Structure 1
Amino acid sequence: MDSADDVIDVTHQLEKLDFHHPYTPYDVQELFMRTVYQVLEAGEGQVGILESPTGTGKSLSLICASLTWLRNHKSTRHEAALQAAGEEYKDEPAWLVDQLLRRKREELVRRWDDREKRLEAVRIKEKTLEDRSRKRRRIDEAAATGSQKVDDEDAEWLLDDWESRDARPQDALSGLSKESREVLERLGLGGPKKRDEDEELLEEEIKVRGSPPVTVQDKMVTSVDLLHVANPLAAVPVHHRTAPPVISILAAVVRSQRAADDVGDVSRLGSVQAINDRCAELQQNKSGKKCSFVPKEELLSQTHQFRDAALATLPDIEDLHQLGKSLAVCPYYASRTALPGAEIVTLPYPLLLQKSARDALGIKLEGNVVIIDEAHNVMDAVANVHAAELKLSDLRKGRGMLGVYVKRFGKKLKGENRVNVGQVGRVINGLTEWMEGAKNFKQEHGIVDPNDLTRPKGIDQINMYELIQYIQESKLAYKIESYAAHVDSDKEAGKAGATARPSSPVLHALVSFLVALANPSSEGRIFYQKMTGPLADIQLSYLLLSPTHAFSSIASSARAVILAGGTMSPFEDYRNHLFPSLAAPKVTTLSCGHVIPPQNLCVWTLAGTRPGAPPFEFSYQRRGDREMIAELGLAVLNMCAVVPDGVVVFFPSYGYLDEVVGVWQQQRGAAAPIWDRLQTRKTVFREAKGGSSDEVLQQYTDAILGSGTGDGVTKAKGALLLSVVGGKMSEGINFSDRLGRCVMVVGLPYPNIASPEWKAKMEYIESTTLSNLVASSKDMRKEEAAAQAKQAARDFYENACMRAVNQSIGRAIRHRGDYAAIVLADRRYGAERIRGKLPAWIRGGMATAPAGATGDEKGGMLGGLMGALGGFFRGKGVG
């Protein structure tokens, strides 16, 4: 156990660390970076759940802290290795040991310096190319494919001979031609490494794996480019640039959507699996449209150039695409050669959260650090990655496509192909039969027992795992869909040779659903939903109830995991559902304050407008109260008279927003409708479900910024934007400065607890919590355990609501000089339990009633709010 002196010493060392921040960091950034460093340094199995508000430089702080730790850790490891070597030869003469250690150290430094010089040379070359504006080389696909002859016009769609599973070699490169396999093996991808010594880069054993959204990846690359960190092998920092090599695995998307797009309309296939299948098809010799970007002998030099340039120039995703295009190599395969030499690997959620995707890309987490930025929705992301949907109309289309395919190729199918194609037909017919029967169900939606679903046509007798593997490896879905599209295009065009392109990848949707169906029933549920419309369609949906099992491969493999976001509160769900078995000392949480001064934030709970009027409680049971809705309109009207520029109001749902607007548009007595009166105060905009958020946001922005104050310019009256929590405006939209001087949240946006999905989630959490409590504490009474289990389910439900609220109110304050008011319109926000789930910086900005206050001020009524808003904006000189 560490002594108090040891703890103080570690804290002192952290305070003295130079994190190589390119600017003068704020105090909250220093705290954030020290916490990240401490989590990474603490050892195996550490987890950090960290919250730092938007505008506090969170992403840059993450990079500074993680790379400082990475370089320091490597330096320490190298020193430890040298000391271990000295211990091994401790019986030898001292001068001999000193000479040995000096040579080992010099060799390590030489290898690192050689690597840096090589990358620097590439940087200089790339800069020269940019300065000279040399035109990028283009590939003439027509010349590459025009000389190829296809003996069998049906070769593209005919299934290869299929051996039994036991007879097939289990090889990650089994989908490629022999020539491609040999080339990739020489590149170290899927086979023994055969690279020459002079082609080898110093491999980075410890890496930072980042999983941000696409826009954040671009920001990460820019942030890394600002840093200059020390050579971990040299005694003193090197003088030339040592920014860490970064490779973005978003190049996997480029693989088909960009590089091979001109070869076979790959990017228009509409499904990731369909794109992958088509890409694999274009690598086969039998196709008349072979991809010229496929790895081959004459492209080895270009592939190495791509690798070196990618490691030297900190490229974003567009840069990787252009680099691959200029060198005539596939960015997907070529970028994989850069993985060993990269210190930072960025990849999006789907590629990190799925073990199969990581394995396919050669991404290994063991001993590495995983940092997930914008992690507030990581649990939803896990569920989305494993979700699947299938409609009855899809099955009917799929059955028609299969019929067309079998009619043409049925006699050519032999052995395993015949058996497996027949099983696919049985699965389609069995699921169709069940869904046809579901039309007669009384309920519009509900939970489906997987056993009932697989009983028709004897689907439960089929080995689903082997069938899924067959469909994926044989590319059956792509072949059937593309041939059916080819037949349809021939009928329409009246000529042969039309480009085969499936319009809707329905069989790939079937495969995704079968994968979900094969999952253990305890992890997920299958739901049916009757669809409205003339087709009377039925939809089956698979929902992953808990992310625990799916996330466990990451939590158990990585050295450390950092979850960071602007609004992570409340923290309990991440700890309970992502790391439930992790001991409490291994989890570090942090909620940073904001960089803005306290006087730049005003937070107010609005419980109602006046005594005698309906209190603001927008619960599902009471939200339809028309008088309360009218009072809300009067509150917004009064706020718009005091708040300058932009006001954003978030409602619980699109349906409720429509209901509120409907009440506001109605005339009450002699006064004009509230809706008309709002138009005189602000230009009013409204987010519509399914509408274009970009267009509405641009109009809202123009209404605020289009007119300003100045010589001969009339001051704009500003704008009011009515939006929805969880909608397009509540996440990722920047309402900084004049665009968001006030943000109001109406009610608590709880999910629909009556929906089958949320019922299943609540039941799952309650049952698993009860089982864990009984197993861990035999002395606990059943009644007490049951009560705690019910409370755990209620907390999860409430936390989902509060995460949505926190994400919405985080839209307003975006930088140190920004200021805004936040109004929480519901008396339930006054409860200590609810307030405790708000971010610390929001709680710190909550207005308190002055001493001796009575009436409106003390009760959170409109009069108190207007006084607080008036004083707040007068203090900013804009009241």
Structure 2
Amino acid sequence: MESQGIPDFRLPFEAYSAQKKFMQDAYRCMEESRFGLFESPTGSGKTIAMLCSALTWLNNNRLKDAVSRLQPGVAKGEHLSDHVQISVDTTVPLWVQRNMEAQQSAIAEKLIETELQQLLDARERLKNIVTLTEDGVRIRPGSKRRRDFAPESEGHTCADAKTTRDKIQIIISSRTFTQLNQYVKEFRRLGALSENLKIGIATGRHQSCINEAVRSRCKTNEEFNEECRRIQCDFRDDVNPLAEASICFPMDLEDLRAAGTSLCSCPYYASSKSISQCDVILAPYISVFNSSIRKSMDLKIDGNVLIVDEAHNLVDAISASHSSVISTSALAALSRQCVSFVEKYQGKINEDMKAGIASIESVSRLLLKCKHLFDNSTCQDKSMVLSIPGFLVKLGLESARLDEILTFLASNEFCGRLSSFAKHLSHKHSGKSTSVVQPRFDMYTTVVYTFRHFIATLLSSTDHERIIITSLADDIEIELFNVSADEQFRSLTKGARSVLLMSGTLTPLEEFMGLSPYTVEPIVHQSPPVFATQRFYVSVLSGVEQGIPLVYDSTSRERHREISTLCHLVGQLSTVVPNGIVCFVSSYKFLDYFQSVFEQSTIRVNVLKNKKVFFESSDKGKDIFTNYSKEALGRGAILFAVYGGSLSEGVDFHDGLARLVLLVGLPYPPETVKLQLRRNYYNTRALQSDVNQHQRNLYVKLANHMRTFICFKTVNQSIGRAMRHKNDFAAILLLDARYNEADNMQLLPSYVTRSLQNSALIKRTADPVDTLVQGLKQFYLSCGVNY
């Protein structure tokens, strides 16, 4: 029940105070059409809390939304708040207005009731063949589709889109299908709150294809798309049964594939057919941020609520979706493929196709001029940056009809045919090539899709995009780099009802504050952790000698003191920390150097008596994590990994997998061309007349402190690997004097700074490491560890 204007969120359990505040702020963000930043540590139940607030708001506003869409002159996608004043006419008597409002309300209620009754009827019809269990949705084997599933002419719940009631939708986007699947599981738990709502998942062909013959032939998204369009697939013949079942019962991606197999229905087309009817749509980043995919899936951002989960990497994801890269070796391969294709099929292809292929081959050769841009260079620079117009002029592409080339590549089956031809050439060469050379042939069998994406990205570029040409050891790389991710996001979301960004940690917030598409101040919610403060220990070790700070930077490999301190510290920690220790260092180069020193030190022998030691490599993260986990939960283990590597994000080091996280140094990113381009972009935006003073200050701050913000975003993600639930306990040790600087301290999560122990006291002791170890021992004893 609602009390004092606070909605009843109907969680399936008693919410704690921070969770209630989270839901209230999220609800207010949607109600007031605001931009919101929601930071809530892992284990706080933010997924189900966000879902509850979104569904509660949706249920409370269904009638208001339906009424507003009945009013004359209301365009689809307008905000609910915009609708309130549309029908007001001072010349119409008040009693007439109220009568009209009552009639509209009655009509809207009838529309909602009809939609609900169709849903209930379909569920009743399907209840004997669809089973909903804790593991998901299953279709009874051997179901007779014609008997059990109604045709569209009999009120099918997946009627044609033009007969579907237009309504507001909640779009939840996340980086992985694993996280999206979690929303489906939580949706099933919500009982009465979700039972009258429809949830669907926007999936691509690559992820959802159940045609084994196609899956065996295709590896990339582009290949799946081309093959799907080319062949007559039996699974595509009748997708209504699966579309209807997915509307009636909440399905995650695995459920959708399993049900599709049982019903011989294509999950991709079933999902596409049902998406317009869903109240809640789950979509991966690429489906939201890529305009062509968004249009093909009929995903509408305007007028709807967009919730972005795992938003800490949002800017990079947006930038990647609007960027493209191709190498000169790939272009050379494409040029050869085009020539060989025409030679082989000279008499079988028409003149239009020959002209299209000639244009592709011509543009490829012009792009290959990049190979010679560094020929006369006397400087040490390995890259150059060009504006889009400058790039086109420099390579002689200013008069090339790139739009016609893109139309040719997109409007026929040439890409698929050339890719198949390239695979044939690859197999032909494989009999003549060594195993070392063979992967190079395979690499270019789909280069035509890479070329198509590059041309499409080039044609849709803005004034802020730049071309980065980089000289590699044996190749030249041409990258169209999207600098203005914030503008891309604001352009996408400016018509949205509300936008909410959510993650375990968003600190530092500055990068995300600039994404708001609205002028009103964003709502910022930062939840406290769910665990008790006494179960979390944080300390800074800033030095081991009086007056000499420890600094682990790019030069620390040359200083014996930093390396020997780390070795000594690891030796001491191995005697007191139970189960697993996870240590993050700044780079693989530093990790390799430390490993070589550690392997030769006498400390290694003592460490191995207590724990097994693992070192991350750039290509073996998963295997190492599995082996480390077994040892950590047994006699104990230490895992040395790299900030920003495969083990620093998205990995759950719960309980004994990380009783201590040791952060060595600050992972400042190197000063790259891309970093400089973003800095220049922020400085340029700060000087432009279309920004207000608040935005100007934000751009200046981002330009001046970008490397620091990126650094601490990485640090905070690494900190978040530990303390995964309310009963967990762990310690965080920050090994670098720079963590004690006030400006840096502000960039750590608030719960970390609140838990920070008095590192100044440790520094003043005769043996800071011993003092630290004794403090850790007392902490672990208080958490129930027996020595």
TM-score by length of 1: 0.78
| Other-structure match for 2:184 | 221
Q: What is the CA deviation profile of residues 517-549 of structure 1, one whole-angstrom value per residue up to 9, with x for unaligned ones?
A: 3354642322233333xxx22222232122023
- The answer to whether the 8 Å contact 1:116/1:242 transfers is no
The yes-or-no answer on 1:63 pairing with 2:48 is no
* Contact in 2 for aligned 1:244/1:343 (Cα 8 Å): yes
One-letter amino acid of the structure 2 residue matched with residue 340 of structure 1: S
Alpha-carbon distance between aligned partners in 1 of 2:87 and 2:118, rounded to the nearest angstrom: 24
Corresponding residue for 2:225? 276
Offset, 1:645: 1.1
Equivalent position amino acid for 2:534 in 1: Q
C-alpha displacement at 1:621, in angstroms? 3.9
Report SS of the residue matched to 2:613: strand
Quote the offset at 1:86 in angstroms: 13
Distance change in 2, residues 1:118/1:623 (3 Å): farther
| Corresponding residue number in structure 1 for 2:673 | 756
Identity percentage over the alignment? Answer: 25
Alignment pair present for 1:507 and 2:513: no
2:631·2:637 contact (CA, 8 Å) conserved in 1? Answer: yes
| Structure 1 residue 366, shift from structure 2 partner | 1.6
Alpha-carbon distance change, 206 to 195 in structure 1, aligned in 2, over 3 angstroms: farther
| Unpaired stretches in structure 1, ≥5 consecutive residues | 1-9, 140-186, 188-193, 231-240, 283-289, 495-499, 707-715
Contact 1:56 1:594 in 2 (8 A): yes
Question: Which residue does 1:142 correspond to in 2?
Answer: none
Q: Distance in 2 between matches of 1:859 and 1:763?
A: 47
Q: Deviations over 1:738-764 (max 9, x none)?
A: 1111101111101101x2222222222
Query: In the superposition, relative to structure 1, how do residues 655 and 519 fare at CA in structure 2: closer, same or farther (>3 Å)?
Result: farther
2:625 aligned partner: 697
Q: Which residue of 2 aligns with 1:830?
A: 740
Quick one: distance in 2 between partners of 1:592 and 1:13? Answer: 22
What's the offset of the Cα at 1:877?
2.5
Asked if structure 1 preserves the Cα contact closer than 8 Å seen for 2:686 and 2:699, the reply is yes
Aligned partners of 2:719, 2:557: CA distance in 1, in Å?
Answer: 21
Partners in 2 of 1:195 and 1:721 — Cα distance? Answer: 61
1:743 and 2:661 correspond: yes
Tell me how far 1:11 sits from its aligned partner.
10
- Residue among 683, 703, 713 paired with 1:803: 713
Aligned-partner Cα distance in 1 for 2:138–2:581 = 49
Whether 1:313 aligns to 2:249 is yes
Q: Which residue of 1 aligns with 2:38?
A: 50
The structural deviation recorded for 1:390 is 1.4
Q: Contact 1:138/1:326 (CA < 8 Å) preserved in 2?
A: no
> How far has the Cα of 1:731 moved from its partner?
0.9
Higher mean Cα deviation, 643-652 or 788-797?
A: 788-797
2:506 is matched with 568
1:445 aligns with 2:382: yes
Amino acid corresponding to residue 259 of structure 1 in structure 2: I
Alpha-carbon distance in 2 for matches of 1:483, 1:93: 68
Residues 565-604 of structure 1 aligned to structure 2 (within 5 Å): 565-576=503-514, 578-579=515-516, 582-583=518-519, 585-604=520-539
In our comparison, the structure showing a higher alpha carbon Rg is 1
Question: 2:500 is paired with a residue of what secondary structure?
Answer: strand
Cα separation, 2, equivalents of 1:860 and 1:412: 83
Match of 1:682 in 2: 611
Partner of residue 247, structure 1: 200
CA-CA distance at 1:97 after TM superposition:
8.8
Question: 1:421 Cα shift?
Answer: 1.9
Do 1:525 and 1:545's aligned partners in 2 also have CA atoms closer than 8 Å? yes
Q: Any conservation in 1 of the 2:652–2:722 contact (CA below 8 Å)?
A: yes
- SS state at 2:733 partner: strand
Alignment-derived partner of residue 598 in structure 2: 664
* Paired residues for 1:789-800 under 5 Å: 791-800=701-710
Shift of 1:339: 1.5
Q: Which whole-Å deviations, capped at 9, do the CAs of 1:199-256 have from their partners, x for residues lacking one?
A: 54863611110112211111100000001235xxxxxxxxxx715211111254345x
CA deviations on 1:410-444 (whole Å, 9 max, x unpaired) are 45555543332221111111112322454664536
Residue 841 (structure 1) shift: 1.5
Matched residue count = 746
CA distance in 2, matches of 1:679, 1:28: 43
State the shift of 1:689 in Å: 1.2
Aligned to 1:638: 572
Secondary structure of residue in 1 paired with 2:538: strand
TM-aligned CA distance change 1:768 to 1:487, over 3 Å = same
The secondary structure found in structure 2 opposite 1:665 is helix
Gap change, CA 1:85 and 1:49, over 3 Å in 2: closer
Contact 2:138 2:255 in 1 (8 A): no
C-alpha distance in 2 between matches for 1:195 and 1:769:
58
3-state secondary structure, aligned to 1:823:
strand
Q: Match for residue 840 of structure 1?
A: 750
Q: Name 1:207's counterpart in structure 2.
A: 169
Matched, 1:259 2:259: no
Deviations 1:682-714 (A, max 9, x none): 2111111112x22211211111223xxxxxxxx
- C-alpha separation in 1, matches of 2:580 and 2:201: 37
User: SS of the counterpart of 1:31?
Assistant: helix
Instruction: State the AA in 1 paired with 2:319.
Output: A
SS at 1:125's partner residue?
coil
Which shows bigger deviation, 562-571 or 75-84?
Answer: 75-84
- Range that drifts further, 365-374 or 629-638: 629-638
Q: Write the distance in 2 (CA, Å) between the matches of 1:602 and 1:204.
A: 52
Partner of 1:118: 121
Distance change in 2, residues 1:53/1:209 (3 Å): same
Residues 590 and 858 of structure 1: CA distance in aligned 2, closer, same or farther (over 3 Å): farther
My pick for the range that moved more, 49-58 or 542-551, is: 542-551
Superposition pairs of residues 513-592 of structure 1, within 5 angstroms:
513-520=454-461, 522-532=463-473, 536-576=474-514, 578-579=515-516, 582-583=518-519, 585-592=520-527
- What is the CA–CA distance in structure 1 between the aligned matches of 2:139 and 2:292, rounded to whole Å? 41
Name the residue aligned to 2:74.
Answer: none
**Counterpart selection for 1:334 from 270, 283, 290:** 270
Root-mean-square deviation (CA, aligned residues, Å) is: 3.6
The 3-state SS of whatever aligns with 2:398 is helix
CA distance in structure 2 between the partners assigned to 1:120 and 1:841 by the alignment:
46
- d(CA) in 1 for partners of 2:3, 2:524: 17
Amino acid at match of 1:611: Q
Q: Within 5 Å, which residues of 2 pair with 1:645-660? A: 645-660=579-594
Please identify, of 503-512 and 126-135, the stretch whose mean Cα deviation from structure 2 is larger. 126-135
Q: Which residue of 2 aligns with 1:34?
A: 24
Residues 349-396 of structure 1 show CA distances to partners (whole Å, capped at 9, x for unaligned) of 111111221111111112110001111111111122223221222122
Q: Distance in 2 between matches of 1:688 and 1:694?
A: 10
In 2, distance between residues paired with 1:621 and 1:327?
Answer: 62
What is the 5 A alignment of 1:191-202?
Answer: 200=159
Alpha carbons of structure 1 residues 103 and 803: separation in structure 2 relative to 1, 3 Å: closer
